[in-house]
Chains A and B, each alone.
Chain A
Amino acid sequence: MSSEARPFFTPVPKATGWRLFLKTVVARAYPRVVGQQRERSWIFFDVFLSILAVSAYVFVYRAIGAPEEYVGFVVVGGAMTAFWLNVLWSMSSQLYWEKESGNLALYIMAPNSMMAILLGMALGGIIATALRAGAILLVGSLIFRVQYAVGNILALVAVFILTLAALYGLGMMSASLFLLWGREAWHLANLAQEPIYLLSGFYFPVKNLGFWVAVGASIIPLTLGLDAMRQLLFPSGAALGFLSVPVEIGVLAVLCVLFLAAARWLLGYMERIAVREGRLLESRR
């Protein structure tokens, strides 16, 4: 009978090559974008508590009689902390978390590229975090009546995109490093908050830390990204800026390429080491 020979399901053509790569990216980005919006407590804590933390620094500036533009610096810096926290906790330490929860072995066993997994995490993280950062920026600007003076919007968009690309490239790169660590990963991510807020000048112009400290801190893309954004957003930004905006755009572009290439190389290298030393399934809790 011909009906008995028919399969129970219609075979789906298997995606291969770049189609599989793209499908993997979208599939990994999906839980980031959709899942995070479903957790209402996350939205509350991410936006509301960030606004309160930003407000504390704004009031410090007001208490010591700072010019009003510093309030704007804090609001922009506060919005960008959302991206740094996302890179730290949801990129760098994510493969460690995936290992702990048992997903990492599945990722590696599946016929997809690990680079696509990381890209999906990054894209999903950028979209989800951009919503929160936007909310922080909007609410903070309205509450504290921040005045912006955007002269070159194209440069501003370029700086923002390059900053995020370099930042998430750094996150993808460090995800591979974190893969080899156990509980140290969590603690190191925890450690990389306040010291980076300080060195990258989240709440003050990084120029004030001195030339060489600022140069060293420029390895974190947010340092130059924030500095360039402040120069493009505020009238006195250029006077307080560390380097000129074109130079900062150039350095950010180099960091972008560097971090993405390093992420690709490190991922393969660390995966080989992890497989050889049997660390993919270990759980050092």
Chain B
Amino acid sequence: MRAASYRDTRLPERWAAAWRSFRVAAWLGWQIESNWTDPFLFAIYSMLKPLASAAILVVMYGVITNGQFENPVFPYIYLGNAFYIYVGAVMTGVSWAVIDDREHYRTLKYIYVAPIRIPAYWLGRGVARFLTGSFAVLITLAAGVLFLHVPFHPDRVDWPLFLLSLTLGVMMLALMGLVLASVSLMIAHHFFLIGEAVAGALYLLSGAIFPLEVLPPWLRPLGFAMPITYWLELIRRSLLGDIASGFATLSGFTNGQLLGILAGLSVLFGLLAVVAFRLCDRQAREKGLIDQTTNY
């Protein structure tokens, strides 16, 4: 008679195990992210990177336009860049856990033999980066509003649309991070964070810092296939109103249509995450990659 395995448990028990894995991983992730230094230095660390990224774009824009920050293009670029911080943070938070546990702490093999739901654990590890990312987004937005005349009027913001878009977008990014985490099981340790590297690449295709019309025609369909494109458009519309919907890229879509597309693409990435995890997990087990170390 076959011994009962962890996978034989009933659905409610699986959900309970997934929630427990997520919760504990979130706590663990926060400890790893934050307890290497004192809170003050950690706050500086969390602020410097995003502010420097934003400053690169601000200087580029300022040099070419002689400081025309009132032009609607500027808030388009600035807000896109500010909220794009979530893309790198969430995708990296989820996917880096694989490399961190496998190569640095060398605990991935122990996690694999523990009664843990691995995808839920990875998602939980992403929570810390989401929190620090949120802090970075707030700081970047504050800098833009205070020093660079980014138009922000709390009474004109469509808060329900903003909160709904933000929630849906973060869930979509976490699912994309799960796909990357699965792929990370199969690849070597890189000197950079794969989540941030892929986020850097998607920066090009999602219209984060320029309208998609600037891309060559053959690249535009890729931009329209990216859920991040619709997410950023919704965020801009909810915060800027008419200024954002004046750009031609997605002006033909209503907010409801954009939300529908974002939700549909998120479901698609959810399915892709399930398939990717199953495939990569099996391959990693087959090839003995669960405890490999690749630090040259």
Contact = CB atoms under 8 A, between A and B. Distances in A.
Interface of A: 31-32, 35-36, 39, 41-42, 45, 48-49, 52-53, 55-57, 59-66, 70, 85-86, 88-90, 97, 100-101, 182-184, 187, 190-191, 193-195, 197-198, 202-205, 208-209, 285
Contact of B48 (A45, A182, A195): A195
B192 A85 contact: yes
B296 A187 contact: no
A197 B196 CA distance: 15
Contacts of B55: 198
Interface string B73-89: 10001000000000000
Contacts of A194: 48-50, 52-53, 56
Interface residues of B, number: 46
Nearest to B200: A53
A193 B49 contact: yes
Q: Give the top 7 A-B pairs by smallest Cβ distance, nearest first.
A: A89-B191, A63-B210, A52-B201, A194-B52, A195-B52, A56-B204, A183-B36
A60 B57 contact: yes
A64 B197 contact: no
B11 interface: no
Contacts of A195: 48-49, 52
Contact of B59 (A42, A100, A208): A208
Interface stretch (B60-68, B117-125, B152-160, B260-268): B60-68
A59 B216 CA distance: 10
B214 A62 contact: yes
Interface string B169-195: 000000000000000000110111110
A133 to B, nearest CB: 14
A246 B37 CA distance: 43
Contact of A59 (B63, B105, B214): B214
A178 B64 CA distance: 39
Nearest to A41: B187
B138 to A, nearest CB: 18
10 contacts: A41-B190, A42-B188, A56-B203, A56-B204, A60-B77, A63-B210, A85-B192, A182-B36, A190-B49, A194-B56
A85 B211 contact: no
Nearest to A185: B36
A59 B215 contact: yes
Main secondary structure of the interface of A (DSSP, over half): helix
A86 B191 contact: yes
B104 A36 contact: no
Contacts of A52: 200-201, 203-205
B209 A60 contact: yes
B37 A209 contact: no
A203 B208 CA distance: 17
B5 interface: no
Given A60-B209, A61-B64, A101-B295, A209 B59 contact: yes
A16 to B, nearest CB: 27
B275 to A, nearest CB: 20
Contacts of B254: none
B214 A63 contact: yes
A60 B56 CA distance: 11
B280 interface: no
B45 interface: yes
Contacts of B293: 101
